[in-house]
Amino acid sequence: MKKEFFDVLKCSILLEKNVAEFLNKIAEIIDDKWSSIALRHIARESEDHAKTLEDICRAYGLYDLEVAIEEYKRIIGSKGVEIIDSYKRIIERLDSGWKPDKDELLKILEKQNIVEKLAGEDIYVHFLLRLLEHVVDENAILKLLLRNISEEEERHIKLIEQIIERLAVKRL
């Protein structure tokens, strides 16, 4: 149980870092000032989530991201690894100069919201908070930190929904 908790934490660090990099790149190419500001904001919060999770891992003397990908497969299933891989692929394409058209961008953002939901509800609330109750010593601060992160994920979902709405009516 304890191991699973920390493995999911470590995997979430990887996910948050990839999300942050990806959103910053989308913010650069998106043709809408307010969407760009919102995406950069979400990216910053994602970086922050990764940092807080890293701090938590360090507090327990655990920090080995190398094994995390393998653990991800074991715990979350291949879906988690696919998600991280798909970010890496998109980041590579964007780096090589690909500029998604409006439909592609809408699709990318809709996919992003599926991940935000997965992170917010499934990973932080259902998985980590529930495991926490059985795992580590009663720790109110750790619990609150995870809740905070998950609440921010809720707001990410709302912001991305708004971005999708703006883009859908905008002529690009």
Q: Measured from the CB of residue 34, what is the shortest distance to Fe ion in angstroms? A: 18
Q: Is 112 in the site for Fe ion (CB under 5 A)?
A: no
Q: Measured from the CB of residue 103, what is the shortest distance to Fe ion in angstroms?
A: 23
For residue 6, what are its two tokens?
A: 């920390």
Distance CA 42, CA 63 (A): 25
Shortest separation between residue 117's beta carbon and Fe ion, angstroms: 9
Which of 23, 127, 153, 159 forms a contact with Fe ion (CB under 5 A)?
Answer: 153
Stretch in the footprint of Fe ion (CB under 5 A) among 1-9, 70-78, 93-101, 109-117: 109-117
- Of 54-62, 82-90, 135-143, 148-156, the window that binds Fe ion (rule: CB under 5 A) is 148-156
Q: Which one of residues 13, 20, 156, 160 is an interface residue with Fe ion (CB under 5 A)?
A: 156
Exactly one of 18, 24, 35, 46 binds Fe ion (CB under 5 A); which one? 46
Distance CA(27)–CA(25), nearest Å, equals: 5
Can residue 116 be called a binding residue for Fe ion (CB under 5 A)?
Answer: yes
Q: How many residues bind Fe ion (CB under 5 A)?
A: 6
DSSP string, the chain: -HHHHHHHHHHHHHHHHHHHHHHHHHHHH-S-HHHHHHHHHHHHHHHHHHHHHHHHHHHTT---GGGHHHHHHHHT-HHHHHHHHHHHHHHHHHHTT----HHHHHHHHHHHHHHHHIIIIIIIIIIIIHHHHHSSS--HHHHHHHHHHHHHHHHHHHHHHHHHHHHHHS--
Nearer to Fe ion, 35 or 46 (CB): 46
Question: Taking CB under 5 A as the rule, does residue 21 contact Fe ion?
Answer: no
**Which residues of the shown chain bind Fe ion in the complex (CB under 5 A)?**
16, 46, 49, 116, 153, 156
